[in-house]
A and B are shown apart, each in its own frame.
Chain A
Amino acid sequence: MSKILEPAHAGTLESSDVFVRVVPSEHAGIEVELESSVSEIYGEAIESLIKATAEAMEANYVRILVQDKGALDYVIKARVQTAILRARGTTNPDWSLLS
């Protein structure tokens, strides 16, 4: 599991999108803070998706702050992955961890 060293973000606040910020944390694990207009119904599912996406990329010591504007699952996944890759300073991912 690798630490997130730099803060980074991805996405927008436009409708159907999601704005994701990742920041380093002093605590082990992945902490998710979600703001979403659909959080009452889908909040738990969105949080688990974000966590699972970050875990698959072996992220650790990270806070993920998310403002959801009604994004589809794959959009959330893409944005979380982009933010984590940016935080790691790479654009060349291990594709096997992203599907």
Chain B
Amino acid sequence: MSTTTKTKLRRSMLFVPGSNTGMVCNAFIYKPDTVMFDLEDSVALSEKDSARLMVFHALQHFTYQDIETAVRVNPLDTPFGLLDLEAVVRGGVDIVRLPKTDTVQDVLDMEREIERIEKKIGRTKKTMLLAAIESALGVVNAVEIARSSSRMMGIALGAEDFVRDLHTQRTKEGGELMAARNQILLAARAAKIGAFDSIFSDIKDKEGFMHEVAYVKSLGFDGKSLINPNQIPWLHKEFAPSTKNISWAIEVIEAAKDAAERGLGVVSLDGKMVDAPIIARAEWIMDLARASGVLGAEL
């Protein structure tokens, strides 16, 4: 288990099929912000049991102690959901990704079972929840879902199932996802949790991927689910702040520090007020810059 928090940087969440041994063993090498083992759609029915045990052990292996881990479990109304939860909570996962979250009740049901397992094994660190919104009903209920539990660290769009539910298909322009993306983002921000965009499935289309990343970043998303490790450096590059932004952030932080030393709550920089939200934004830019390798850790 990593030292993860609700507000940790999560630009890249790499899906790793629990049934793919090579990927399970090697995913940490690619340094995504979060490794997201999958026990649901990418695992054949005949291998649900083996994938579950593989992920149970991988979560405990030293290679996954310094990286945040999430697991997408099967829904609780399948024969696999509860067994998946037993395995991953006992394995020490940081985040459980709920598949197809339509209502608040879906979250509460999952939370109840996680609490029961944590209590049984004496786990003191709370397992966090990430709800995947994959239907029109889920999008409509996104605000309540985002606020439904103190364990909730984010909500994510699952676009493939969502467009099927909408009776349409994905396009490069992404118009079919516009309402869902905006609703999910607003719900996440209102609940002060993370918002994560869906996968981009054409792994050969770098240009299309970069276009989509730039778009969702400009909307305000914190990051994106990925299905191929090659997409990680592309995405991190797009999320890296510009030199201009970094210079601004450094100036803001220095001005704020100076103001604090002089006992002032608010200070002005180039004629513009610097207050708590501006400072928080500057610190976020610096976190991004450090994670992107643009700055040394000392800054």
Contacts and interface: CB of A to CB of B under 8 A. Distances in A.
Interface in B20-65: 21-22, 24-26, 48-50, 53-54, 56-58, 60-61
A36 to B, nearest CB: 15
Contacts of A21: none
Contacts of A95: 86-87, 90
Given A78-B54, A92-B83, A95-B90, A71 B49 contact: no
Contact of A11 (B24, B50, B79): B50
Interface of B is mostly: helix
Interface in B54-107: 54, 56-58, 60-61, 79, 83, 86-87, 90
B289 to A, nearest CB: 35
Contacts of B87: 95
B21 A16 contact: yes
B21 A12 contact: yes
Contacts of B58: 74
Contact of B49 (A16, A17, A86): A86
Contacts, number: 51
Given A95-B86, A99-B60, A71 B21 contact: yes
Size bracket, chain B contacts: 20 to 34
A14 B22 contact: yes
A67 B78 CA distance: 33
Output the residue of B26, B54, B58, B60 with the most chain A CB within 10 A. B54
A75 B57 contact: yes
Interface string A73-84: 011011101100
Interface in B260-284: none
A85 B54 CA distance: 14
A38 B7 CA distance: 44
A86 B60 CA distance: 23
A14 B21 contact: yes
User: Closest 9 A-B residue pairs measured CB to CB?
Assistant: A74-B57, A17-B21, A78-B53, A82-B50, A78-B54, A16-B22, A91-B49, A78-B57, A74-B61
